[in-house]
Structure 1
Amino acid sequence: MLAAPPPTLLVIAKAPVPGRVKTRLTPAFTPGQAAGLAEAALADTLAALALVPAGRRLLVLDGEPGRWLPPGWEVVPQCAGGLDRRIAAAFAHAARLAPRAPALLVGMDTPQLDPAALAAPLSAAERPGADAWFGPAEDGGFWALGLARPEAGLAARLLHGVPMSTAGTGRRLLDRLASNGLAVRELPTLLDVDGPEDAARVAALAPGSRFAARLREFAPAPGPAR
């Protein structure tokens, strides 16, 4: 029997450039602070996935890598088009690099991610019977999607035309997975960092993270006693 190939892990992200990332954190934070929080969230995400056993680790990036990029990651540019097509293209790229390996993609908005939440479900012992992995987000979207067979055609059928960043995105994607006859293993529900309230909640969930430390740097100083 052939050994189960290790998974390909993907992170889809924007380079943390002021004015281009985490714009919903403004005006509570300046564009520079929002970019700093995005950089910290991305660094936490990459560090977490570095602890998940994998054959390859791909950063699917909109923009240019910076000093925040740790070793061990291959950088792949995002394709043109909407997020649905960019995610599908990322899976297609993973399939070209490692055709027999499952692939799992996460975003950069969950710096509280526990590596064990991915390491166990993707392990060779727990993979049998799973065609896909789905990580729901509290806002109705998703923070992770994995495919046991990440072929380009399947990724396109699942993702093309799914409206992204809406309260119904996750349900639409689950419907696509079901209509394609895929057995789905659900991952824990996580909170995405979108607005300032989300940032505070996520920092409380992961107080030792880079994200929480950066948020503490940017928190307003207490006013004088009255």
Structure 2
Amino acid sequence: MTSSSRPTLLVIAKEPVPGRVKTRLTPPYTPREAAALAEASLTDTLHTLLGVPARRRVLVLAGAPGPWLPPGYDVVPQCPGGLDERIAAAFEQCADGPALLVGMDTPQLSPAHLAPVGVTGHDAWLGLAADGGFWALGLADPARTGALVRGVPMSTDRTGAAQHRRLVEAGLTVAELPVLRDIDTAGDAVSVAARCPSGSRFATLLASLGETVR
């Protein structure tokens, strides 16, 4: 990957505050445990992206950064509005070259999952989630993001398909990244932890909590 093709990497996240993140993990976990799991997932994601070639790394954050934030990231606040508005605004801050946005809910993410980005000659990259959403969206020309993202229904089991359709209808060539499961429920957490790489903070914390979900 040449330096000119390296994307800006965006992570869109919420500050891991008890009662405000991963509320669907309670029960079986307490709000404090759910927030700790969210923090571990976010931290794993941020550290993984440090190993991915990039022009710039940006955390698009609702809330304030904490000691979990490693060096190497710029921090910008999320704009008000729905998730589609917040995603579009995040891309619009880096309209000078390719950009890829990921969420905080896939700690099993590895650099290999992102290998196609910036080297395939595609206009867009989309990583679908197992629940019907998407975990990653990349654009070779982020200046077009508004028309490509705003108005796409978010947080449904058709979000990924709707986003893919929007990209294709705009005439973009779309490269599909691997399908990943993100963390919404305790069952998701167990499944994702089993796929995390060695040393994962998320998997280690989940195991220490001792909760078995079937």
Q: What is the TM-score with the length of structure 1 in the denominator? A: 0.90
Name the counterpart of 1:48. Answer: 48
Change (3 A) 1:220 1:194: closer
- Per-residue deviation, 1:3: 6.2
> In the alignment, what sits opposite 1:6?
6
Match of 1:127 in 2: 120
State the distance in 1 between where 2:100 and 2:16 align: 22
Q: Counterparts of 1:218 and 1:207 in 2: how far apart (Å)?
A: 19
Can you give the 5+ residue segments of structure 2 that lack an aligned partner in the other structure?
none
Cα distance in 1, alignment partners of residues 135 and 109 from structure 2 = 10
Structure 1 counterpart of 2:101, which letter?
Answer: L
Contact kept in structure 2, 1:207 and 1:213, CA below 8 Å: no
Which residue of 2 is the match for residue 59 of structure 1? 59
AA aligned opposite 1:146: G
* Structure (1 or 2) with the larger CA radius of gyration: 1
Where in structure 2 are the equivalents of 1:169-184 lying within 5 Å? 169-184=159-174
Q: 1:107 to 1:15 in 2, by over 3 A?
A: same
Offset at residue 27 of structure 1 (A): 1.4
| CA displacement, residues 30-60 of structure 1 (integer Å, 9 cap, x when unaligned) | 0000000000000000011110000100000
> Residue 12 of structure 1 contacts residue 108 of structure 1 at CA under 8 Å; is this kept in 2?
yes
1:117 maps to: 113
Residue 88 of structure 1, CA deviation = 0.2
Aligned partner letter, 2:159:
T
Q: d(CA) in 2 for partners of 1:3 and 1:45?
A: 22
Give the aligned CA root-mean-square deviation in angstroms: 1.4
Partner of 1:165 in structure 2? 155
Q: What's the secondary structure of 1:60's corresponding residue? A: strand
Give percent identity, aligned residues only.
61
Q: Secondary structure at the match of 1:36?
A: helix
Paired residues of 2:128 and 2:134 also in contact (CA < 8 A): yes
Q: 1:185 to 1:66 in 2, by over 3 A?
A: same
Deviations 1:98-131 (A, max 9, x none): x1x200000000000011211x2124xx232x00
Q: Which letter maps to 2:86?
A: R
Q: Which of 146, 153, 158 is the equivalent residue of 2:138?
A: 146
Mapped contact 2:117–2:138 kept (Cα < 8 A)? no
What is the CA-CA distance between 1:220 and the residue it aligns to? 4.2
Query: Aligned residue for 1:75?
Result: 75
Partner of 2:15: 15
User: Displaced runs of 4+ in structure 1, greater than 4 A?
Assistant: none
Number of residue pairs aligned between Structure 1 and Structure 2: 210
